Amino acid sequence: MKAVLSVVLVLVVISSTIAKYIPKSGKRIPQTLSRGWGDQLIWAQTYEEALYWSRSRNKPLMVLFHLEDCPHSQALKKVFSENNEIQKSLDEDFIVLNLVYETTDKHLSPDGQYVPRILFVDPSMTVRADINGRYSNRMYAYETGDINLLISNIQKAKKLLKAEL
Residues engaged in binding its own copies (CB under 8 A): 17, 19-23, 27-28, 30-34, 38-40, 42-43, 45-49, 52, 82, 84, 87-88, 91, 99-104
CA torsion through residues 47, 52, 124, 96, sign = negative
- CB count within 10 Å of CB 63 equals 23
Question: Under a CB-based contact definition with an 8 Å cutoff, are residues 91 and 160 in contact?
Answer: no
Q: How far is the CB of 2 from its own copies (least distance, A)?
A: 29
d(CA 95, CA 127): 14
Q: H or E segment at 64?
A: strand 61-65
Q: How far is the CB of 52 from its own copies (least distance, A)?
A: 7
Q: How far is the CB of 111 from its own copies (least distance, A)?
A: 21
Nearer to its own copies, 45 or 124 (CB): 45
Nearer to its own copies, 3 or 29 (CB): 29
Q: How far is the CB of 46 from its own copies (least distance, A)?
A: 5
Nearer to its own copies, 2 or 28 (CB): 28
Question: Under a CB-based contact definition with an 8 Å cutoff, are residues 80 and 142 in contact?
Answer: no
Using the CB atoms, write b or e for 32-62: b if 16+ within 10 Å. eebbbbbeebebbeebeebbebbbeeebbbb
Nearer to its own copies, 102 or 130 (CB): 102
